[in-house]
Each structure stands twice: as structure tokens, then as C-alpha cells.
Structure 1
Amino acid sequence: MSSFHLPDMSCGHCVAAITEALKAADPEVRLEFQREARTVQVQSRLDDARLAALLSEAGYPPAAG
């Protein structure tokens, strides 16, 4: 499972947009959101670099570190 800090994620719309973007690339992706902490745990067949790219393309670039 991969973890990403998404500083721009703040609401349910953000969660929906992220879910849609990642499910389009991996229909079996599993996501666990912590909106208050602005993090998402991702279980996917895709590697971290591809997941980070998809998050960025959706408008939610992961924070470095």
C-alpha cells in the first residue's frame, strides 16, 4: 500500500475526483482517505510513480517527502 500527502485535497469533491481518476487507470484500486490529514492510502497494481502522475494530472499533486 502506498501513502500520499495531498495538500490540495480538502472536500468530498476532491475525494470523488481522485477516486475517479485512479479507478480509470486501475478499476480494482482500493483507497482509504483521511481528509483532515489530507492523505490517501492506495492499494493498486500501478507503481508509485504512475500513481503520483495520475494524482497530479487530476489536480492533486502529492507533496514531496
Structure 2
Amino acid sequence: MELEIKDMTCGHCADVVTKAIEVVDANAQVDIDLNTKLVRVLSEHAPGEFVAAIQQAGYSPTELR
């Protein structure tokens, strides 16, 4: 799945987003590109679970199709 997080602006933001994803699935593979503000997550969990966790962490993710 791919998420765009426009309000993710720095390394600290990326760390917070990564930790939020790992709360949902500690084994998820996460790839973050700060330049494009894209997060790719490889997991068997539903995208909505990650979106909710990232929102709880204070960010505004948008799922890309």
C-alpha cells in the first residue's frame, strides 16, 4: 500500500509515522521518501488500520491507489 502524508516534513516526522505503523504491525516493511512525502507499507493488515494509527500520531495520510 502507498500513503501520501503531506504534513510529514522531517526525519522526526518519519520516525513518528514509522512507529505508528509498527504499533499496528511490528513486522511491516516500511519505506519512507521524505522528498515525495510517500510511505510504502508491505503488510497483510488493512490499510485503514495504518491510516487510523498515523492519524492518531497527528498526521494526515491519504491512501493512494
Which TM-score band applies after superposition, normalised by the shorter structure? Answer: 0.7 to 0.9
Partner of 2:12: 13
Higher strand share: 2
Partner of 2:21: 22
Deviations 1:3-29 (A, max 9, x none): 000011010001110111111221101
CA RMSD of aligned residues (A): 1.4
**Structure 1 spans left out of the alignment, 5+ residues:** none
Instruction: Give the counterpart letter for 1:26 in structure 2.
Output: D
Q: Percent identity?
A: 27
1:64 Cα shift? 6.5
Instruction: Give the counterpart letter for 1:7 in structure 2.
Output: K
SS of 2:61's partner is: coil
SS of 1:54's partner is: helix
User: Could you list the runs of 4 or more consecutive aligned residues of structure 1 that deviate by over 4 angstroms after TM superposition?
Assistant: none
